[in-house]
Amino acid sequence: MDRLQTIEERAARTANGFKDLEAAAQEVLDSEELACSKELALALLESDAHQARCVATFIIGGLAAADARARDALD
């Protein structure tokens, strides 16, 4: 199972709240290179699951501190 699918499935199981979604995003930021994190976030933005798109937003927010261009993905 690839990383994208794993995150989408984890996110979809989150019915209430956002702490696990935020934790999933932080795990990506901690374990991936910036470029890989950005690619993963952009792929998650295309997900049908709104929770996965939320994870993407958290990732992009984390990246924005290191790469101002990451904010452009939220526009």
Give the architecture (CATH level 2) of 3-74: Orthogonal Bundle (1.10)
The rounded distance, in Å, linking the Cα atoms of 54 and 28 is 13
DSSP helix/strand/coil, 2:
coil
The rounded distance, in Å, linking the Cα atoms of 25 and 51 is 11
Q: What is the pLDDT along the chain (75 residues), one digit of tens a residue?
A: 598 899 999 898 888 888 999 999 999 999 988 889 999 999 999 999 999 999 999 999 999 877 777 667 666
pTM for this model (two decimals): 0.84
Enumerate the domain spans of the chain. Answer: 3-74
> Tokens representing 71?
């904010």
